[in-house]
Structure 1
Amino acid sequence: MALSTQRDSAFLPSPHQSAPQPNHDVFLSFRGEDTRLSFVSHLYHELQLRGIKTFKDDPKLERGTPISSELFNAIEESRLAIVILSPNYASSSWCLDELTKILQCMKSKSTVLPVFYHVDPSDVRKQTGSFACAFTEHEERFREDVEGVKCWRAALTEVANLSGFDSKNECERKLIENIVEWVLMKVHRKFKLLDSRELVGMKFIREHIDLLLAHPTDDVRFMGIWGMGGIGKTTIAKLVYDSISTHFESSSFLANVREVSQRGCLVDLQRQLLSPILKDQITQVWNEQWGTYFIKNCLSNKKVLLILDDVSESSQLEKLAGEKDWFGKGSIIIITTRDERLLVKHDMQVSYKVERLSDDDALELFSRNAFKKNEPDGGFLELSKGFVNYARGLPLALKLLGGLMYKRDEDEWESELDKLRKIPKSEIIDLLKISYDGLDEMNKDIFLDVAFFHNGKDKEEVIEILDSCGLCGCVGINDLVQKSLLTISHRNVEMHDLIQEMALEIVRRECPDEPGRRSRLCNYDDIFHVFINNTATNKIRGISLRTATVEKDKLEL
Structure 2
Amino acid sequence: MNRGVLATAGLVLPPILLHRLWSGRRSSILSETIEDVSPEKGSSSLPLPIGEYEVFLNFRGPDTRHQITDILYRFLVNLKIRTFKDDEEIRKGEAFPPSLAKAIEQSKIFVAIFSKNYAHSKWCLGELAAFVERKEQEKGRIILPIFYLVDPRDVRCQTGPFEKAFQQHEKKFDEKTRHVWKDAMAKVGALEGWHIKSNDDFVENIRGRLQQKDGVVNLQKHIISDIMRTRYADSIVNIGEGMRILKDRISCFKFLIVLDDVDEEFGFSEIFGKIEHNVSGSRFIVTSRDVKVLGTLTEESKLYRVREMNHDHALQLFSKYAFRKDSPPSSHETLSKDIVAVAAGLPLTVKVGTNLVEGIRLNEFSEELGKECFMNLSELRYLDAKVKSLTGDCSMYLPNLRWLQLKIRTGEVLPKFSMENLVVLELLSPMKDDCGSLMHIKMANKLKVLKVFGHYGLTSFPEFPQSQSLEILHLLYFGSMSSPKDLDIGNLRNLNELQLRSCKVRKIRGGTIGMLKGLRVLEFRDFYCRKNLREVLADIGVLQFLEILRVDVKNGGAEYLFPWRNLLLGIKLPTSLKVLRTSSPVANLPELLDLEEMTVEDCDTFGLELPPADGDSNMWWKLSKLKSLKIKRTKLSLPTRLLLPSSLTTLHILECQELDWLPSLENLENVTQLIISSCPLIKEIPGLGSLLSLTKLSLVGCKAMERLPSLASLSKLDELFTSACPLVVEIQGLGGLKSLQHLTIDSAENLTRLLGFGNLLFFNKLETITITNCPLLTSLSFHDLDDGDDGCGDCQLPAVLCSLRYLSISGTMLVLDILCQMLQLAQFPSLLTFSLKVMGIDNVDVELPLEWIGSMEKLAELTLSGLVSVWKLPFLSKLRNLKKLTIAGAPNLQEVEELAGLKSLEHIKLTGCTSLQRLPADDLSSLKQLQSIDISDCANLADQFTPRKTNLTALIRWEAVVTMLDPDMLWDRPSA
Whether TM exceeds 0.5 here: the answer is no
Instruction: Name whichever structure is richer in helix by fraction.
Output: 1
Which structure has the greater CA radius of gyration?
A: 2
Structure possessing the higher relative contact order (Cα contacts under 8 Å, 6 or more residues apart): 1
The alignment's TM-score, normalised by the length of structure 1, stands at 0.35
The alignment's TM-score, normalised by the length of structure 2, stands at 0.21
